[in-house]
Amino acid sequence: MTSGYLWIKAFHIVFVASWFAGLFYLPRILVNLAQVKEDSAAERERLIVMGLRLYRFASLLMVPALALGVWLWLGYGVSGGWLHAKLVVVVAVIGYHHVCRSLLRQFENRSNRRSERWFRVFNEVSVLLFIAAVVLVVVKPF
């Protein structure tokens, strides 16, 4: 392995971990929004602004995470059956990222129909996706 490969891999890990930090916290903001009482407009607006800012920040972190991953894959020939499964997980994470925005938009439009409990379950999906990605990369089960 070349020194360049290790630097790219290190920064890929940093950006993926940072992106996931946003994906761990953004659904928690959605849980909090689901708990806000109708007459608490200021709290609702504050949480929506926080959610929008976090979404934008996580989106900015997603770009280099994906770019560095593609660089590792195509530039250094990273391959194997585990990689195909990891790419499925990556697509799922990107989808989850965008679903978070869609759910936040529903709160902005006052059209959310989901319960606090639903958001609590949704909040755990990012953890499962993170575990799947880490296991696939580290263990390389196939």
Instruction: Spell out the residues 6+ positions from residue 136 whose beta carbon is closer than 8 angstroms to its own.
Output: 82, 83, 85, 86, 89
CA distance to 69, 81, 106, 127, per residue, from 31 (Å): 31, 36, 13, 15
Q: What are phi and psi of 39, to 5 degrees?
A: -85, 10
CA distance to 52, 73, 109, 137, per residue, from 117 (Å): 22, 38, 20, 32
Mean pLDDT over all residues of the chain?
A: 96
pLDDT tens-digit series, residues 92-121: 999 999 999 999 999 999 999 999 999 999
Give me the amino acid identity at 36.
V
Distance CA 31, CA 87 (A): 28
Q: With contact defined as beta carbons under 8 Å apart, do 29 and 55 qualify?
A: no
- Residue indicated by tokens 């936040």: 104
Give me the amino acid identity at 49.
V
Domain extents in the chain? 3-139
Q: What pLDDT score was predicted for residue 123?
A: 97
The region, left, alpha or beta by phi > 0 then psi within -120 to 50, assigned to residue 77 is left
pLDDT higher at 79 or 1: 79
Q: How confident is the model at residue 47 (pLDDT cuts 50, 70, 90)?
A: very high
Q: What pLDDT score was predicted for residue 26?
A: 98
Instruction: Spell out the residues 6+ positions from residue 58 whose beta carbon is closer than 8 angstroms to its own.
Output: 19, 21, 22, 23, 26, 97
